[in-house]
């Protein structure tokens, strides 16, 4: 029997991608649904092919995931949880190969850049692939013992490759934050580690508007953990901001801060109210 939609979680990438690993870690009881793009993962939830979507938003080494913040307000979905996944990068090759056999390694350009020291030490040439799991899949299909891939251990398991070296990333704290998206909002929960409220807003065209809009959070003791700007529609003047704050909209301090923000903005859209993940600690 095929799984029902409530058993399925969509992600961008091939099976074995780090987003797949995040699905298995945060929602081990759900069946992962690979999608070609972030838009396809969102569409899978909106069409009912999946109940949730797992979307990466930022990496501690690489920074913001391109385009994702501009997609969130348009998605029609709500953030219901977050997950922090430690990104361990591994060198893998065909069964029976050794590190000394590997002359080139394929992966997403971001992962190649995060393993420069290891690759240089072993004189392994970097080859840019479309993504991590896809690179592992291609190496398995090519049957070239001199070619390796950089990906998750899950990818090696899925595509029948041997892990030749584990945790080869240059930075020892490489972590990706994911947002779990649903068509249904639930603002009634309270988390053991506090709550996060995520929203986007556009300030009014008045002097020092952003400074004034942020003042309410400072005076009410609300911690803003993220504030990022991005352009809308290619315009240099239509700038929107994405923000994460600690707290729930029903908390008195948050309510007062949001009321003050509203006075200095043209638009505020709450994207989600959800429990803070223990990985924030």
Active-site residues: which are they? 176, 178
Cα–Cα distance measured from residue 196 to residue 173, given in angstroms and rounded to the nearest whole number: 22
Structure tokens at 95: 């069964």
Q: Enumerate the H helices of the chain as residue ranges.
A: 18-26, 38-46, 68-71, 109-113, 116-121, 132-142, 153-159, 209-219, 252-263
Structure tokens at 177: 């934050």
Cα–Cα distance measured from residue 126 to residue 269, given in angstroms and rounded to the nearest whole number: 42
Residue 1 burial (CB < 10 Å; 0-12/13-18/19+)? exposed
CB 60 within 8 A of CB 171: yes
């Amino acid at each position: 029997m095929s799984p029902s939609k409530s058993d399925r979680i969509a992600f961008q990438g091939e099976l074995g991608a780090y987003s797949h690993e995040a699905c298995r870690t945060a929602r081990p009881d759900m069946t992962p649904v690979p999608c070609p793009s972030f838009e396809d993962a969102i569409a899978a939830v909106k069409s009912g092919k999946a109940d949730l979507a797992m979307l990466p938003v930022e990496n501690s080494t690489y920074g913001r995931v391109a385009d994702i913040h501009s997609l969130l307000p348009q998605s029609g979905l709500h953030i219901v949880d977050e997950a922090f996944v430690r990104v361990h990068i591994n060198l893998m090759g065909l069964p029976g190969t050794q590190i000394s056999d590997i002359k080139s390694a394929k992966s997403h350009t971001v992962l190649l850049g995060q393993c420069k020291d290891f690759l240089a030490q072993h004189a392994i040439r970097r080859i840019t692939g479309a993504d991590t799991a896809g690179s592992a899949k291609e190496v398995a299909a090519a049957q070239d013992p001199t070619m390796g891939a950089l990906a998750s251990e899950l990818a090696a398991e899925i595509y029948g490759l041997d892990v030749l070296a584990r945790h080869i990333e240059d930075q020892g704290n490489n972590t990706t934050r994911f947002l779990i998206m649903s068509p249904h909002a639930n603002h009634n929960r309270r988390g053991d580690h506090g709550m996060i409220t995520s929203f986007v807003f556009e300030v009014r065209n008045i002097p020092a508007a952003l400074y004034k809009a942020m003042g309410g959070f400072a005076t009410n003791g609300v911690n803003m953990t993220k504030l990022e700007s991005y352009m809308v529609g290619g315009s240099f003047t239509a700038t929107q901001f994405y923000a994460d704050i600690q707290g729930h909209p029903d908390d008195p301090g948050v309510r007062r801060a949001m009321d003050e923000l509203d006075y200095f903005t043209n638009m505020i859209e709450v994207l989600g109210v959800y429990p803070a993940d223990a990985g924030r600690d």
